[in-house]
Chain A
Amino acid sequence: MAAPKRKTDIGPPHYEQMLHPMVKKNYGKWKYHEKVKPGVLMHVSETGDKLYTIRAASSRLVSIEKIRDYCNLADKYCDGYLRFTSRNNVEFMTDKEANIQPIIDELAKMGQPVGGTGNSISNIVHTQGWVHCHSSATDASGVVKATMDELIDYFTSMTLPAHLRIAVACCLNMCGAVHCSDIAILGIHRTPPTIDNDKLANMCEIPSTVASCPKAAIRPKVVAGKKTVEVVEDLCMYCGNCYTVCPAMPIANPLNDGISIWVGGKVSNSRTAPMFSKLAIPYLPNNPPRWPEVTSAVKNIVETYAKDAKKYERVGEWIGRIGWQKFFEKTGLEFTKYHIDDYTLASSTYNSSTHVKF
């Protein structure tokens, strides 16, 4: 039997094979766009060509069966082309206006709402959670599903003052880089790892376990004649790096793990510079399968913002105008000592002025 041709270092397929003929023809020639209605964009080219895009919600975790459904739809109406967005939505592009409604109808039958354009809440970028990651302090897909079920009307309309972007990460590693979102939902561990002194020496290499800790909180130790490690609890910041290296140091703690909420970040440069999200709620309990405390907290922030912000103000710009005092007042959220930074550069977050509202 001939050995299979095994090639390396070839990179991804060229994108030109993946472009609808009309996209290829008008590449670099687009003139302007309009939002026809929520979830539907029209791009107009200098050549006069018009391209319609229908953007639909998709769960990031999709089966090949669902992908084949998407393909069938794209074959039927979009000449066999489709794409996914940076926020895990799926987009169907067609040059025929008459195809818009049938695509929307078929998507509705498949359970994929259309929306996420303009001043809406688009899909929630998120990470793996209990579906696939050993570090997770909470699930990600389930939190997203529960939250978007509550916020669906904001996905299918464009009635907010500005774009509102939500992200979920299931631990402090923040694979989804949630730290610049209008609202960030972040899974947190709050306790140091537990140590299985009996098994540790068998399961883990002690020097690499010690070296895994970014805070140098892990030290070698002997307990009852067995080699193991100890954790200096005051130094630990619950990052879980040690558990990645050493399975005898689980970081998960069902009683204490939970979720924190952060607000006011943004990435785009429009009007104001990009900003980090800041702490709004230090701890909410993990309450699967629908996390009611989390979804109602997010909804409260969204609704307060929607009512109070001026047109075009992102959440962070709104807070910038009214001030954090008013943010806590209007949302009714409790302000605690945890909101006051005590990490590197903390002093830059203190108020060194007499600007205070009464």
Chain B
Amino acid sequence: MSDTPMIDQLETGPWPSFIKDIKRMAAKNAMCKDLLGLLEMSYKDKKTHWKHGGIVGVRGYGGGIIGRYSDSPEKFPNVSHFHTVRVNQPSAWFYNTGALRYLCDLWEKHGSGLTNLHGSTGDFIMLGTTTDHLEDIFTDLSEHGWDLGGSGSDVRTPSCCNGMARCEFACYDTMNLCYDLTNEYQDELHRPAFPYKFKFKMSGCPNDCVASIARSDCSIIGTWRDDIQQDNAAITEYAKGGKVDIANDVVAKCPTGCMSWDGSKLSIDNKNCNRCMHCINVMPKALRPGKDKGAMILLGAKAPIVQGALLSSVLVPFIKMEPPYEEFKDLIRRIWEFWDEHGENRERIGEMIVRIGKGNFVEEVGLEPTPAMIKEPRSNPYIFYEEYFDEE
């Protein structure tokens, strides 16, 4: 009988099987063989057999490696140490096969041969090696033009959607900004010095395909200020033969009620459109974002730990996003300075903003309050007025 009867059951079925993949590697890598054994034990015991056990890393860097140790080194000695190496991915996960083959060869030499494509932050994740390989891996990577990603209280590896490379909706060059910021903030990325982690994610339009509004401290989402570009011939083509039911599927679904359709002509009251993307998504051949493009900056998303989850909220409704991105970087500098001074240990920036009040934060980083920053004004009357009159 097989040593791993439980996980073997995950080899069947139409979806790609990670167990098959680990087994394939196990034929030539002892770590993978022991990983299968350890995993089978978890499936039997219904509990994890990993533990945390000390920080590991490479010389000069404070992030990029996650230490991982098993609780059963006697039974499975080859995975007693099984650290993760986060390799900073190229923008939007485009690769040439030479680059991928290089990473594979390196990982064959120095680790388990297992990867995650990709981690939740976006990194190319090499899963499972021992401390003695780390310096060699890093040296080899850097000789070949690669670097590690972030971990701990630092700038995490920025990530972005494929934007202008393959999407007509992109309102700014996400891939260029991602590359530019990653390089601009190398020191902040490799040497944790913040109160807590800080993530940048970049989506080219409000569809937000990289979920930046839910998963990043700083969400940079493309948008436009002028009118939706409208190709009336293409609209007629969609309408003809009922390809799209414009009245019901487009106009009736418009959340702002700013569209009308008289059976042959589509009109958009662009001043009242909130750039939700619905109509554009339904008729990409006929409608496109406008020409005066840029991005919206939103701040503060985080997972629930500890005080509850937050979505990012609007800080700057519109900013032009063109290299060298000076205005944006200047804003980030002011935000970090304030966070450095006022953030508490392990407090995400979103939590700090809630603690000190968004109004105060906006003022401190040198911005003007606008209604675009809120869903509604306060309903509680406890206003802390900072100015009042004295009798002279």
| A→B interface (CB under 8 Å) | 4-15, 17-19, 23, 27-28, 30-34, 43, 51, 53, 57-68, 70-71, 74-75, 80-86, 88, 90, 93, 111-113, 125, 127-136, 139, 141-142, 144-146, 148-149, 152, 172-177, 179-180, 214-215, 237, 239, 243-245, 247, 252-254, 257, 265, 267-272, 274, 276, 286, 288-290, 311-312, 343-345
Contacts and interface: CB of A to CB of B under 8 A. Distances in A.
B147 A134 contact: no
Contact of B165 (A19, A144, A247, A343): A19
Interface stretch (B300-308, B317-325, B366-374): B300-308
A132 B84 contact: yes
Interface string B91-107: 11111111111011001
Given A83-B94, A152-B15, A270-B281, A6 B24 contact: no
6 contacts: A30-B167, A111-B20, A130-B50, A243-B52, A268-B209, A270-B206
Contact of A135 (B48, B94, B209, B288): B48
A81 B95 contact: yes
B97 A75 contact: yes
A194 to B, nearest CB: 12
B46 interface: yes
B142 interface: yes
A11 B183 contact: yes
B43 A267 contact: no
Nearest to A272: B255
B360 interface: no
Contacts of A32: 168, 284-285, 288
Contacts of B281: 270
Given A11-B179, A32-B288, A134-B68, 17 more contacts: A6-B139, A12-B91, A33-B284, A43-B167, A59-B15, A64-B25, A82-B95, A111-B20, A132-B82, A174-B304, A239-B305, A244-B52, A254-B47, A257-B46, A265-B214, A267-B208, A271-B255
B306 A215 contact: yes
Contacts, number: 348
B88 interface: yes
A270 B305 contact: no
A3 to B, nearest CB: 9
Nearest to B38: A130
A128 B52 CA distance: 14
A84 B117 contact: yes
Nearest to B283: A32
B60 interface: yes
B186 interface: yes
B24 A13 contact: no
Contact of B6 (A60, A111, A289): A289
Nearest to B199: A177
B25 to A, nearest CB: 4
B260 interface: no
